[in-house]
Amino acid sequence: MALDKVQIAQRIAKELQDGFYVNLGIGIPTLVANYIPEGIDVVLQSENGLLGMGPFPYEGEEDADLINAGKQTITTLPGSAIFDSAMSFGMIRAGKVHLTVLGAMEVADNGDIANWKIPKKLVKGMGGAMDLVASAKNIIVAMQHTNPKGESKLLSNCTLPLTGVGCVKKVVTDLGVFDINEHGFYCIEIAPGVTADEIKAKTAGRLVIADDVKKMVV
Amino acid sequence: MALDKVQIAQRIAKELQDGFYVNLGIGIPTLVANYIPEGIDVVLQSENGLLGMGPFPYEGEEDADLINAGKQTITTLPGSAIFDSAMSFGMIRAGKVHLTVLGAMEVADNGDIANWKIPKKLVKGMGGAMDLVASAKNIIVAMQHTNPKGESKLLSNCTLPLTGVGCVKKVVTDLGVFDINEHGFYCIEIAPGVTADEIKAKTAGRLVIADDVKKMVV
Amino acid sequence: MGLNKVVKNAEEAIHDIKSGVTIMLGGFGLCGIPENCINALAATDLNGLTCISNNAGVDNFGLGLLLKKHQIKKMIASYVGENAEFERQLLSGEMEVELIPQGTLATRCLAAGYGMPAIFTPAGYGTECAEGKEVREFNGKQYLMEYAFDADYAIVKAWKGDTQGNLIFKDTARNFNPLMAMAGKITIAEVEELVPVGELDPNFIHTPGIYVHRIFQGTNYEKRIEQRTVRKRN
Amino acid sequence: MGLNKVVKNAEEAIHDIKSGVTIMLGGFGLCGIPENCINALAATDLNGLTCISNNAGVDNFGLGLLLKKHQIKKMIASYVGENAEFERQLLSGEMEVELIPQGTLATRCLAAGYGMPAIFTPAGYGTECAEGKEVREFNGKQYLMEYAFDADYAIVKAWKGDTQGNLIFKDTARNFNPLMAMAGKITIAEVEELVPVGELDPNFIHTPGIYVHRIFQGTNYEKRIEQRTVRKRN
């Protein structure tokens, strides 16, 4: 059985290391915060200008002046720091954020990513996505393996306008975990109940199933 | 009688306008702070990271953490702000400081200034001088008209290594006040007891005595 | 005297703004936007404005109010969802929009405030955002050269400010506000609380008054929340 | 755990520094210098260091201690007066010095901390400082392109800091400290007072802990004053 969104987030949470500063995008990436492993301390960065993002506020305690990059009301944790948007993207560009997790419409087998614009549809804008993908040392994409039409989102070349080039290091989908390296999509884990053949059938880009591919522990 | 240092500072103080942010260099420029005209509010910037510099502290109230760019102990005034060196030079480069007053070894009739280095003598460094002269909207030089050997410091071309090019707008010396414009040194005021001939004799650069040149009021 | 930057209200603060100028406006979404000045601008007949702001408000609040009255000729922003009227004007060609990466937007403000004519950022390299831009390699990585903004006015919202224009911001309502405050030829700050000089600790000023030309205490802040998200108490 | 950046003292903080590396050190004159770490460095046999600091201390204090022991191979600074031993080593060719404008020094730190590979400044254009540097015109004005610093370590002194490395600075002891804190591959902060997380107001952090790798509470701060200047009471 393919993974659901929560399971994708849970799998990505295993990539967190003690002491990491992490930026989580909107959607599945946001869920990662709920599954930080026991014994691991991480700090969440919100690119509108906050390190040390805490959980959503209790009802009645929302503060209009305290939101995350998704414009949701949030809280701060002890040790948090507030800064302006230039410093926020400054620390991102300088590689101080260890890990960025974000969603995508398409990923290419060379690490290109497209997640901001669909031609002929309304463009809302790239927000901070182009800065994040161009700068982060380590980028994991969380997404469904195929689009609603059943077409692969793991491609040889992105068909949509790019957000960044050659930047994605790892993709976690409902079907498996894929490093992006000289092999293209290098499958290192397969979701429970999913077969290598299914992954092959649903992956349009270059794909190699690792010899020592593991069944994902959920 | 030529002006003394205090009189040079007093004359420069008349250039201050209400609401000006001003950076005063070491030496005669520092004295300008003592002669701010009645009814005029100015804010002194110290390029090590302070707006709103106040007078020296009372004996026993010195604070090692509160110094000016000359490394002297100082105080802050109500309304002061502290910032890092990048913001300090940022506001200087952005032209937010209305007036910079500094000393010089030589000034050329095109506005070039030399005030940081004498070849074959020990070089201490330019500190913030190159940033200030390259960026300030309005630069007044306060200096003696001649060097200890009696040679003019107002030249056609600086002989010493430059601090900045074409940047000085006005020079106030012990002998007079000189705008720097298409005429070169354009003498608009002559110190009491000084003659136009003396100024001509002691000025090596292009010099024009203004038709409406005034006797300086001291 | 000259250092007292206080004006009476938003109307006085914006009195000399002319049609066709470029205005930066602080805020991220609806968080930390200069509500009073936006309302005052919406009450004028100004038009042909170029607005630089991370977002474009919502249909009936924030910059959405200026959009509705067709006062904005061009919008420079990083994200402009949440606004149906915006969409309509964009598709109909009534308004021009330039979308730029959020970090580029922030850093072009910083560059203006720090007197740096251009900066380099990797954001947008290899994408359509790079079209027409100079690309330069440093240490094996490709960067775009982006220019400092050149805005006639910056309008920001602060938490507290003093009469000399020193500002402090609260929580993530800081966002672009201190950057834009530095970047305007004329900077207008509206504050929730205007205090006498000397009341703010000089060590904790976010925007030194040298960058601020006009300041006033705003009124009736609505502080609308775009995405109210809460958790239940156990 | 991973976010606890606390080390015991200066010796532990600098334990892995090797000869020949590049170290930035905060401070302006003797104001806000990391006294504990400088003393600890002077007690080692490290040499061949490249030091980036606005000044070079005085003969028997601050970086002067490292100079005296010939630990510094190259000094990058804006002003190096007040130091006879420095002068001697410079004239004898034992040490190399690169003098750069103070604003350039500050902005090259900022560039490193903000991931900007180069910046433009007019400072030094047309002077010998411009030799070998790329000149570029923007809006009719000439600028030099200057590169971000690339320092192995940054050592800074803060007023207070928490165990996650968040820092605040006091008065003009701030100077280059927050800039260098952002610019080091490894950043060491010594603080006058180390406090638990949660004690510093998030709105008034000067250096967010993400930039700081090691922190300790220093001891026996001398805080020498270079130019004690006072006025008499009336």
pLDDT given for residue A120 in this prediction: 81
Residue A150 CB burial class (10 angstroms; 0-12, 13-18, ≥19): exposed
Catalytic residue among B15, B38, B47, B198: B47
Which H/E stretch holds residue B31? Answer: helix B28-31
pLDDT given for residue A135 in this prediction: 94
Q: Do A126 and C129 touch (CB under 8 A)?
A: yes
pLDDT given for residue D85 in this prediction: 85
Whether B106 shows a pLDDT value over 90: the answer reads: yes
Question: In A4-123, which ranges are E strands?
Answer: 21-24, 43-46, 50-53, 76-82, 99-102, 106-108, 113-114
What mean pLDDT comes out for the span D208-217?
A: 98
Instruction: List the structure tokens of A122.
Output: 């309304």
Contact B147, D122 (CB under 8 A): no
pLDDT given for residue C1 in this prediction: 59
Query: Which residues touch C110 (CB under 8 Å, ≥6 apart)?
Result: A86, C116, C119, C179, C182, C183
Whether A89 shows a pLDDT value over 80: the answer reads: yes
Whole-number percent of chain A with pLDDT over 90: 94
Q: Do B84 and D176 touch (CB under 8 A)?
A: yes
Distance from CA of C190 to the nearest CA of B (A): 18
| C135 in reach of chain A (CB within 8 A) | no
Kindly report, residue by residue over D150-182, the tens digit of the pLDDT: 999 999 999 999 999 999 999 999 999 999 999
Nearest to B168 by CA among B72, B217, B101: B101
Q: Write the DSSP symbol of residue D1.
A: -
In the complex, which subunits touch C with 3 or more CB pairs below 8 angstroms? Answer: A, B, D
Which residue has tokens 């030309």?
C213
- The ipTM assigned to this model is 0.97
- Rounded CA gap, D27 and D174, in Å? 8
User: Confidence band (pLDDT; 50, 70, 90) for C46?
Assistant: very high
The domain locations on chain A are 5-215
Kindly report, residue by residue over C122-145, the tens digit of the pLDDT: 999 999 999 999 999 999 999 999
Contact A46, A53 (CB under 8 A): yes
Query: Looking at A209-213, B135-139, C202-206, D25-29, which range is the least confident one?
Result: B135-139
Kindly report, residue by residue over A99-109, the tens digit of the pLDDT: 999 999 999 99
Instruction: List the structure tokens of C120.
Output: 């380099």
pLDDT given for residue C88 in this prediction: 86
Whole-number percent of chain D with pLDDT over 70: 100
The values of phi and psi at residue C190, to 5°, are: -105, 140
pLDDT given for residue D86 in this prediction: 86
CA distances from D192 to B61, D201, D221, D222 (A): 20, 17, 8, 11
Kindly report, residue by residue over A108-128, the tens digit of the pLDDT: 999 999 999 988 887 889 999
Whole-number percent of chain C with pLDDT over 90: 92
Whether C218 shows a pLDDT value over 70: the answer reads: yes
Q: What domains are there in chain C, each with its CATH number?
A: 10-117+149-217 (3.40.1080.10)
CA distances from C209 to A89, B81, C200, D114, D147 (A): 25, 8, 12, 24, 30
What mean pLDDT comes out for the span B123-144?
A: 94
**Axis crossing angle, helix A85-93 with helix C102-113, rounded to the nearest 10:** 110
What mean pLDDT comes out for the span D50-60?
A: 95
What mean pLDDT comes out for the span B106-117?
A: 96
pLDDT given for residue D87 in this prediction: 83
Catalytic residue among A15, A38, A47, A59: A47
User: Confidence band (pLDDT; 50, 70, 90) for C91?
Assistant: confident
Contact A168, A112 (CB under 8 A): yes
The values of phi and psi at residue B19, to 5°, are: 90, 0
User: Confidence band (pLDDT; 50, 70, 90) for B32?
Assistant: very high
Instruction: List the structure tokens of C40.
Output: 């005052």
Distance from CA of D148 to the nearest CA of A (A): 11
pLDDT given for residue D1 in this prediction: 59
Q: Is B47 a catalytic residue?
A: yes
Average of per-residue pLDDT values in chain D: 96
pLDDT given for residue B212 in this prediction: 97
Average of per-residue pLDDT values in chain B: 96
User: Confidence band (pLDDT; 50, 70, 90) for A206?
Assistant: very high
- Rounded CA gap, C211 and C183, in Å? 8
Q: Do A65 and C173 touch (CB under 8 A)?
A: yes
- Rounded CA gap, D73 and B56, in Å? 38
User: Confidence band (pLDDT; 50, 70, 90) for D90?
Assistant: confident
Q: What's the whole-model pTM score? A: 0.97
Assess whether chains B and A touch, using the rule of 3 or more C-beta pairs within 8 angstroms. Answer: no
pLDDT given for residue D66 in this prediction: 96
pLDDT given for residue C90 in this prediction: 85
Kindly report, residue by residue over C1-26, the tens digit of the pLDDT: 589 999 999 999 999 999 999 999 99
What mean pLDDT comes out for the span B200-214?
A: 97
Which H/E stretch holds residue A9? Answer: helix A5-13
CATH 3.90.550.10 fits B5-215, yes or no: no
Average of per-residue pLDDT values in chain A: 96
- Rounded CA gap, A65 and C171, in Å? 6
Q: Do A79 and D162 touch (CB under 8 A)?
A: yes
The identity of residue C166, as a single letter, is: N
Assess whether chains D and A touch, using the rule of 3 or more C-beta pairs within 8 angstroms. Answer: yes
Nearest CA in chain B to C179: B87
Whether C81 shows a pLDDT value over 80: the answer reads: no
